[in-house]
Amino acid sequence: MLRSRAFRLFLLAVLIVAGAGVALTYIPSDHYIVLPDRARPTDPLVDVPGEEGDAAGDAGIYMVDVRVGRANLFERLFPGVYEGAELLPERVINPEGVSDTQRRRSSLNEMSRSQLIAITVALRQLGEEVDVDAIGAEVVLVQPDAPADGQLEVGDIIVEVDGEAVETREDVTEAMRDVEPGERVAFTVERGEERLELTLSTRASQEGPARAVVGIGIQTAEDFQFPIDIEIDAGSIGGPSAGLAFALDIVDELGDDVDGGRTIVATGALNLEGDVLPIGGVKQKVIGARKAGADVFLVPDGNAADAREAAEGLEILAVSDFDEALSVLAAD
């Protein structure tokens, strides 16, 4: 009788613990979790005219990303159950109250520009001429509850401010210089095929009460003229860090044999000068490269120390620019 009662109590305790564990997986926390994602080949994503068929086996150029999402309470309490997991407070992932949706749109916008830069850097490396012209200021972030919220959208191109032509990010700053907080400003923007005239109110900047802002982040918008019709389709992948991998794949298809029969994983954002810029989540990306069976992992110089901490025997090659990336792969 006592043994039977003890067993029932034990079984009840197990069910309570199991139920609590399941419940914790459905309750969101106030943190985000960053997890490794397996590296994937770039060749299926990059369409180069006249390219040869896929390389045999796993050889080729690979890109690697991370998975980011709001942590549930179980993950918040026990992040160590996942290899390479990192917990981050919401303000790090979504600064200034930016929503998940806005962050996602900005991330996809970064990916789109990184593809254009990758094509430019690769073609110039191959001796092709690529014209890049400044055409306005592109909206990359709209702050919640700011004057621009509900008026401007990520991807809009600002071409005029109060009648002044805009070709660069700096032109917007100059046009807003004499505007006082509370005054209204006329913006002419291009949104796809539409040209819109919008009048926005302003507020004082958090960086200085005398400076008027509408609550947006912008970068110079550029028009790229390519001599070769190269297309990149990264699907739902966001961020700028695949730029180096895409550029290496294009050179591999149109120029030299870059991978040399190896599985080459690369991460790093590129600028138009071909510099390889640091990126986030490098420790998780090393794990993703290892799981893909990488022979070599290329990382920006600024990420080298963190990458080597997680390498566990994986060869890490740190590079500062695209020329160096090609050189170290040729010499390795």
Tell me the mean pLDDT in the region 175-197: 95
Q: Which of 124, 93, 123, 121 is nearest to 107 (CA)?
A: 93
Residue 24 has pLDDT above 60, yes or no: no
Kindly provide the b/e burial profile for residues 19-39, where b requires at least 16 CB atoms within 10 angstroms of the residue's own CB.
Answer: eeeeebeeeebebbbbbbbeb
Q: Which tokens in the block code for residue 249?
A: 């794949």
Mean pLDDT of the chain: 88
Q: What percent of the chain has pLDDT over 70?
A: 89
Residue 323 has pLDDT above 90, yes or no: yes
**pLDDT tens profile 111-161:** 999 999 999 999 999 999 999 999 999 999 898 889 999 999 999 999 999
The confidence score (pLDDT) of residue 105 equals: 82
Residues 154 and 118: their CA atoms lie apart, in Å, by 21
The confidence score (pLDDT) of residue 4 equals: 66
Q: Which of 248, 130, 243, 151 is nearest to 202 (CA)?
A: 151
Residues 51 and 13: their CA atoms lie apart, in Å, by 62
Residue 207 has pLDDT above 60, yes or no: yes
The confidence score (pLDDT) of residue 82 equals: 81
The confidence score (pLDDT) of residue 9 equals: 57
**pLDDT tens profile 269-316:** 999 999 999 999 999 999 999 999 999 999 999 999 999 999 999 999
The pTM assigned to this predicted structure is 0.85
Which domains does the chain show, CATH number per domain? 39-78+232-331 (3.30.230), 131-224 (2.30.42.10)
CB 156 within 8 A of CB 192: no
Tell me the mean pLDDT in the region 85-105: 78
Q: Which tokens in the block code for residue 301?
A: 């110089």
Mode of pairing for the β-strands spanning 86-89 and 28-36: antiparallel
Q: Which of 284, 289, 205 is nearest to 245 (CA)?
A: 289
- Around Cβ 173, how many Cβ atoms within 10 Å? 13
**pLDDT tens profile 49-85:** 876 655 556 789 999 999 988 888 777 877 777 888 8
Q: Which tokens in the block code for residue 287?
A: 């794990």
Sign of CA dihedral 288, 290, 295, 298: positive
Q: Which of 224, 268, 273 is nearest to 248 (CA)?
A: 268
The confidence score (pLDDT) of residue 253 equals: 92
Residues 322 and 121: their CA atoms lie apart, in Å, by 8
Higher per-residue confidence, 210 vs 263: 263
Burial of 64 from C-beta contacts in 10 A (0-12 / 13-18 / 19+) = buried
The confidence score (pLDDT) of residue 319 equals: 97
The confidence score (pLDDT) of residue 99 equals: 75
End-to-end CA separation in angstroms for the chain: 73
**pLDDT tens profile 215-236:** 999 999 999 999 999 999 998 8
Alpha-carbon radius of gyration of the chain: 24
